[in-house]
Structure 1
Amino acid sequence: MFEIIRNIGAFIMALGILVAVHEWGHFIIARKCGVKVLRFSIGFGKPLYKRITSTGMEFVIAAIPLGGYVRMLDSRVDDVAEQDKAESFDIQPVWKRFAIVAAGPGINFLFAILILMVVAMIGQDKAKPFIGEINPESYMAATGIEVGDRITAVDGAKTKTWQAVNIEFMRFIGGDNIPLSVEKPNGQAVSYEMKMPNWEFDPELDNMFTSIGFEPFRTKPSKIIALVLPGGPSAQAGLQENDEILKLNGTFMDEWGQIVDYVKPRANETIEVEVLRNGGSMLFSVTLGEVKTATGTDGRLGISSQVAAYPEAYYFHDKSGPFDALVKGTQETWRLMTLTVEMLGKFINGDVAVKNLSGPISIAQGAGMSASYGIIVFLGFLALISVNLGIINLLPLPMLDGGHLMYFIAEWITGKPVPDAVQEVGFRIGGVLLFTLMAVAIFNDINRIT
């Protein structure tokens, strides 16, 4: 129950912030262009909060937090007094209307830059991409890369962190090879072409690195619990942080790997867990949870273990001053933008399956999980969703900002507005496509949790 409440709360907070930022972009440019704004709404449906501003605009927070809108004076739908006609949206030059509509997605990108700039200024420890394990029967092993090598670039793009490696690898979903550059333990730089003619990767069921055939370097985990997932199997049973696991069903556990191997084939079974707490042993009955993987359903305890500190050579503290942070935030936002466009292309051509499309439930889970890991992870999640929101809104579908921009471009070229009848047909087609995508995304979400 706690996990559900946390997810919902984080979802409402994240989406509320992003919708407010998006609509504020429309609002502020509309005001700068001399257009009268009648209503600024965060959410749809029944108003939960309403007030009238000094300019006569209605500010509303509504019950359904799945979007928002800015309603401007428009003589096509409003009775406009003669003295107010100059403030009507529809009579503005096409460049002003274009700027007002484009400001929503634009502010999402600027907001992502700001968030990532703040994250860079706060600073955090990041693991360098050293290879920890390699499956001897894998693409990675066939390439010649070895344990202890550090991935320095993917197709020429520098990769200082595992997050960067992951982003660059995603670009090659559906491809046949990945150009890699690594640094050997002796400092030698070597380039490889990793051939992957039959690479199949399902992000719902598999880990990208595992599917390629390797694992990042990690320090050895202990049997001591570092984190108990709120609402998870161990939390419900009463296990706590700093408990040391001694036995499972009476069998001594010598190391963390043995615990994982014991739990993995026992999804949904109830087992006895003996732990050492404050110098004495305690026994708990834990009903294991489950997690879907590429090979089936695995059991899970809902805990993570304490690990030894990383060797100094294997991580770095990434913190920047204001100017460098701005540059870094801009570069990371651009990378997220290009990656999002590339992934949309892979979705269209079939390299990414329709079942991977995510909806509000998955976003809520992502928001809740990121919030549980701390403010920096949550801010990174906000930046990612802000970029995605901006890109999605730029799609040339009527009902989205991109559809309006498409009509404005046509008006710019032809010198006259697109006929209302054509726009109406476009809005209906766009509505059907949009609601179909939403239905598929929600269906996928439900499948993931059932």
Structure 2
Amino acid sequence: MSIINNIFFFVIALSILVAVHEWGHYYVAKLCKVKILRFSIGFGKPLYKRVTSSGMEFVIAAIPMGGYVRMLDGRVDDVSEVQQDLAFNHKPLYQRFAIVAAGPLINIIFAVFILMAIGMIGQQTIKPIIGEVQAGSLVDGSGVSQGDQIISIGGRETNNWRDVSIEIATYSGEQTMPLTVIDADSRQRQLFITLNGWKVDPDSQSLFDALGFTPFRPALTKTLGLVSENSPASDGGLQLDDEILGIDGTTFNNWSQIVDFIEQSPKQKVKLNVLRQGTNVVLDVTFGVHPEDSTKGYLGVVPYQGAWPEEFVQEIELGVVDAFLYGLNETWRLVSVTFEMLGKLLTGDISVKNLSGPISIAQGAGTSASVGLVAFLSFLALISVNLGIINLLPLPILDGGHLMYFTVEWLTGKPVSEAVQDIGFRIGAALLFVVMGTAIFNDILRNI
């Protein structure tokens, strides 16, 4: 079901973004009076086809991995004398440039309005307050303490953990990272974390773990929020909302003590004392063996997390103007960070292991959708910005490659020859194949 959920929301997200991208090309082409032959969302066999009053075919195809707008073009079509003015290749250079640039740019503009909608819908976010600092880590000794709130990194404001994650990622390959924190007594401090060439490796640990701290989270309770099916817990009669009081006469103050007891007792039969709807119940339970470590015991339950302190939670709901400004600011932030990360990828400051392909995108779509509408919209805005920027890269097979050829035509006064363009497209396709192959390979390694 998880895989189906991921695929479903991946298709939804990609179809929306492709439709927006191709609409950008379509809309500007119509303004420039170019004849549109086909508007396709997806590739391959058409699942749905409709011919509009203008003669254009609108198609939804079977493979939802992209799309295209096919325009009348004298380089590939037989164009009659009457239709010369309707062909893409006969339009002035500035119009051709605008038509091609419209796709990537509309993706970025689309992100502004998505984020504007998020601001108007309202969202509940958690302040980035530090939980624990690991001894001997990069953060340890820098002055960062438990309970500090990170309010900015490198001068960029951080209102939540998403902001913190984005800003930390941009410092991969740097020597120091400046951050500003405020403690529980409202005392503000400017600190510097020595990174010593620290690089982000998503396969080994999270950004926070790599630096040596954990975000604050309320302590786990002893009350069960999940009892796995066909687990030692369900076989022993444990139920949702049971509170574990003791095991074999041993009482516990917190959940970590319960976990320690279970992990130290694989295959052991115990009497488990729980509080169920105000009544003490004793159950005979036999611990299993942990699926990832045969030396540890396993029960198959997940507890509820405690409530967040009110002062750690912030509600954000904006009016139309403020929401629009919020959308602009957040989109610009995503654009600038994406360019920074691409630059660090080219210089080697960021490992190619950070590249993600369709599997990771599908997982992100499914996970964000399961969290809620705001999370899915945030994910959509991020991917929309990335799609726009990637399409602007000067690879001949992408929109940016066409724009590069148009720029050469503007500088030299004549179009790039068909032979040179063909070679460029072949090289661009090969490079794109290598990048996509690497991304898919990374996806596979992360999921085996």
With structure 2 as the length reference, what TM-score do the two structures score? 0.89
1: CA distance between counterparts of 2:230 and 2:171?
A: 35
SS at match of 1:54: coil
Matched, 1:117 2:111: no
Structure 2 equivalent of residue 256 of structure 1: 255
Structure 2 equivalent of residue 351 of structure 1: 349
Deviation (angstroms), 1:84: 1.4
Identity %: 53
Structure 2 equivalent of residue 365 of structure 1: 363
SS at match of 1:320: coil
SS at match of 2:397: coil
Distance 1:253 1:19, change over 3 A: farther
RMSD: 3.2
CA contact (8 A) 1:114 1:329 kept: yes
2: CA distance between counterparts of 1:228 and 1:28?
A: 53
CA contact (8 A) 1:42 1:61 kept: yes
Letter in 2 for 1:349: T
Deviation (angstroms), 1:24: 0.7
Distance 1:210 1:232, change over 3 A: farther
CA contact (8 A) 1:289 1:299 kept: no
Deviation (angstroms), 1:200: 4.2
SS at match of 2:63: strand
CA contact (8 A) 1:154 1:165 kept: yes
Distance 1:287 1:335, change over 3 A: farther
CA contact (8 A) 1:200 1:211 kept: no
2: CA distance between counterparts of 1:303 and 1:4?
A: 22
Matches for 1:251-400 after TM superposition, within 5 Å: 254-258=253-257, 305-400=303-398
1: CA distance between counterparts of 2:406 and 2:264?
A: 58
CA contact (8 A) 1:101 1:401 kept: yes
CA contact (8 A) 2:130 2:216 kept: yes
Deviation (angstroms), 1:100: 0.6
Rg larger for? 2
Deviation (angstroms), 1:153: 1.2
With structure 1 as the length reference, what TM-score do the two structures score? 0.88
Structure 2 equivalent of residue 161 of structure 1: 160
Distance 1:325 1:36, change over 3 A: same
SS at match of 1:340: helix
Deviation (angstroms), 1:330: 0.9
CA contact (8 A) 1:7 1:369 kept: yes
The CA deviation string for residues 390-441 of structure 1, in whole angstroms up to 9 with x for no partner, is 1111110011000001001111111111111110100000011111111121
2: CA distance between counterparts of 1:236 and 1:20?
A: 47
Deviation (angstroms), 1:150: 1.6
1: CA distance between counterparts of 2:66 and 2:301?
A: 35
Distance 1:91 1:315, change over 3 A: same
CA contact (8 A) 1:46 1:62 kept: yes
Deviation (angstroms), 1:306: 2.4
Structure 2 equivalent of residue 222 of structure 1: 221
2: CA distance between counterparts of 1:285 and 1:186?
A: 46
SS at match of 2:42: strand
Matched, 1:133 2:156: no
Distance 1:341 1:183, change over 3 A: same
Structure 1 equivalent of residue 189 of structure 2: 190
CA contact (8 A) 1:150 1:184 kept: yes
Q: Is the deviation greater in 30-39 or in 79-88?
A: 79-88
2: CA distance between counterparts of 1:331 and 1:318?
A: 15
CA contact (8 A) 1:26 1:70 kept: yes
Structure 1 equivalent of residue 436 of structure 2: 438
Q: Is the deviation greater in 440-449 or in 385-394?
A: 440-449
Distance 1:123 1:248, change over 3 A: farther
Q: Is the deviation greater in 203-212 or in 16-25?
A: 203-212
Structure 2 equivalent of residue 50 of structure 1: 49
2: CA distance between counterparts of 1:362 and 1:379?
A: 17
Structure 2 equivalent of residue 295 of structure 1: none
Letter in 2 for 1:404: H
List runs of 5+ in structure 2 lacking aligned partners. none
2: CA distance between counterparts of 1:153 and 1:395?
A: 30
CA contact (8 A) 1:290 1:300 kept: no
2: CA distance between counterparts of 1:232 and 1:69?
A: 48
Matched, 1:179 2:178: yes
Q: Is the deviation greater in 141-150 or in 52-61?
A: 141-150
What is the number of residues matched between the two proteins? Answer: 440
Letter in 2 for 1:129: P
Distance 1:198 1:404, change over 3 A: closer
